[in-house]
Chain A
């Protein structure tokens, strides 16, 4: 499949006060998302996943690399071209309370992109706003409210309505449900899924929550310290992780179970800061399978299957840091269907 959104060799550094070496928040990342599909970007804080999302939208200026969206070279655009291009992409932010201007009515928030990018008159904008509210399953009365009068779940729907106002074909979803109460989370995720299907939108879905990533994504990329350590089809990466870091991350997830607690591998220490990165594999200092050649150079990707790549030198010989699970030996997760 051809790429709809594509980034090659993405690097983003930030200067550090009082230090000569900058923080390398993103350190050579390739992203390919076909039209209408979802790439889940997983990682812990400091892994650079949000920075990648912002670079794709050019909300941050990448230090190196290329970004293409459709036929456009996003990084080559002048400021005015970029502003016009913003009608075709949008971002849904982590915290709906903070990403909506507290002093604007919902109507102004939703209609602002229409005012900036369309010739719709007041009436046309009102119609479109009402339509958007139906799309996100809210009511027109909500348009007259202020953000503090709505619940977190409702606000995030407003954030989605704003993002969809100009009918974009690419959305960056930056942890769109992580600050929502559990009871409304699934509703927002389902809403996103449906909108993607109906409107054929390409998603970059950023999250540290593996459960939601599994539910949302076609493909998954696992990031650690600014690099992608493993990527591939969601089912393969999440069910058969090959990189030791992916395995540790997945084993730290806590599904809602009532059965036996799954075997976990708890990593030592924390993600170091991405200043003065060690040469070689960024995970090597914490890796239980480290060997001497891990620190000599960045490990090349090993193909586990055709689409599934793990950047670890030990893939060929097997990387399981936990006892391998027998097939089908899943810890039963509770779902709505479970009854006694």
Chain B
């Protein structure tokens, strides 16, 4: 009773530390956020592992040029399909390119696409979800029906069709993933708003004479954040998978651009003849990153709801 279920514990501490609304002009807000983050990291093995994996990938992506001397596009002319050794840690692929350098550089493109796609869908999805949930009426009805139609489409096939038809692949992949993610954020935000709209503090805000947009922005939106953060981690994992899946089936990103899906596709031809490294290493990297995001999502969920275990 006392501690785990008191409102303070359950009110939800987004990973940014005690209430995420923190007024940024407040001195000490950054420190409080850092403390909150550190508390989250230590809260469970999943949180620690997930954070470590995702941070490691981000650092590797950011410093890829500095850390790795080898150009991912450099062809080591005669060294085709060399097994992992001290010079080429992950070996070389069928074009004679260094698999390690390519695997690391691929983080960039995979993260770039996923993060921009998910970011875009959050902006659009949350805005539409807020309006739909708070205003309701015809706008909400039309929006919901449109989403029903869109979501009835098999996601991967839609993505395949659009990306295959598009000229410029990276933009197309971002657009199509954002498009697929947006309904998720719309629905989630709308659901949150529908329940928060009835919250007593929202009624209180109305009774003090707040305008509707201010109620939405100031009183409802900040309280939709915790599930949003969880969903973001889940969708990032999903998006990385989709980027790679598209490349794997041969649309979107193409070899020689370093991208895991494309690398796996290209390398899979040699697996039967025993040269496993061109496909297995990017596969492991993909798996690890998705695992990292998923662990993070689970850990955030547990962290935000201490009663749940």
A–B contact, 8 Å CB criterion (strictly below): yes
Q: How many residues of A contact B (CB 8 A)?
A: 34
In the complex, chain A residues whose CB is within 8 Å of the CB of B207: 57, 59, 86, 90-91
Answer whether residue A84 sits at the interface, using C-beta atoms and an 8 A cutoff: yes
Instruction: Say yes or no: B200 contacts A99, CB within 8 Å.
Output: yes
Give the A-binding residues of B (Cβ under 8 A).
6-8, 11-12, 18-21, 23, 199-201, 203-211, 218-219, 222-223
Answer whether residue A112 sits at the interface, using C-beta atoms and an 8 A cutoff: yes
Instruction: Say yes or no: B206 contacts A148, CB within 8 Å.
Output: no
Q: Which of B6, B205, B206, B223 contacts A103 (CB 8 A)?
A: B223
Instruction: Say yes or no: B8 contacts A148, CB within 8 Å.
Output: yes
| Most A C-beta atoms less than 10 A away, residue of B204, B211, B223 | B204
Answer whether residue A69 sits at the interface, using C-beta atoms and an 8 A cutoff: no
| Most A C-beta atoms less than 10 A away, residue of B200, B209, B211 | B209
User: 20 A–B contact pairs at CB < 8 A?
Assistant: A59-B203, A59-B206, A59-B207, A83-B209, A83-B210, A83-B211, A85-B209, A91-B204, A101-B219, A101-B222, A102-B12, A102-B223, A103-B222, A112-B210, A113-B209, A116-B210, A147-B7, A162-B208, A165-B208, A166-B208
In the complex, chain B residues whose CB is within 8 Å of the CB of A83: 209-211
Give Cα A105–Cα B8 distance, bound, in whole angstroms.
Answer: 13
- Shortest C-beta distance, A58 to chain B (Å), equals 9
Closest to B219 in A: A101
In the complex, chain B residues whose CB is within 8 Å of the CB of A146: 18-19
Q: Can you name 13 extra interface pairs (CB under 8 A) apart from A98-B199, A104-B21, A108-B23?
A: A90-B207, A91-B203, A99-B201, A103-B19, A103-B20, A103-B223, A112-B205, A116-B209, A117-B209, A148-B11, A159-B204, A162-B208, A165-B208
Q: Which of A59, A102, A162, A165 contacts B11 (CB 8 A)?
A: A102
Answer whether residue A218 sits at the interface, using C-beta atoms and an 8 A cutoff: no
Known: A102-B223, A103-B20, A146-B19. A97 touches B7 (CB 8 A): yes
- Shortest C-beta distance, A116 to chain B (Å), equals 5
Give Cα A95–Cα B203 distance, bound, in whole angstroms.
Answer: 12
Q: Which of A90, A108, A149, A162 contacts B8 (CB 8 A)?
A: A149
In the complex, chain A residues whose CB is within 8 Å of the CB of B11: 102, 148
Instruction: Say yes or no: A86 contacts B209, CB within 8 Å.
Output: yes
In the complex, chain B residues whose CB is within 8 Å of the CB of A94: 200
- Shortest C-beta distance, B13 to chain A (Å), equals 10
Give Cα A94–Cα B199 distance, bound, in whole angstroms.
Answer: 12
User: 1/0 per residue A93-126: CB within 8 Å of B?
Assistant: 1110111111111001000110011000000000
Q: Which of A87, A95, A102 contacts B209 (CB 8 A)?
A: A87
In the complex, chain A residues whose CB is within 8 Å of the CB of B21: 103-104
- Shortest C-beta distance, A29 to chain B (Å), equals 20
In the complex, chain B residues whose CB is within 8 Å of the CB of A99: 200-201, 203-204
Give Cα A99–Cα B6 distance, bound, in whole angstroms.
Answer: 16
Instruction: Say yes or no: B18 contacts A98, CB within 8 Å.
Output: no
Closest to A155 in B: B7
In the complex, chain B residues whose CB is within 8 Å of the CB of A95: 200
- Shortest C-beta distance, B60 to chain A (Å), equals 35
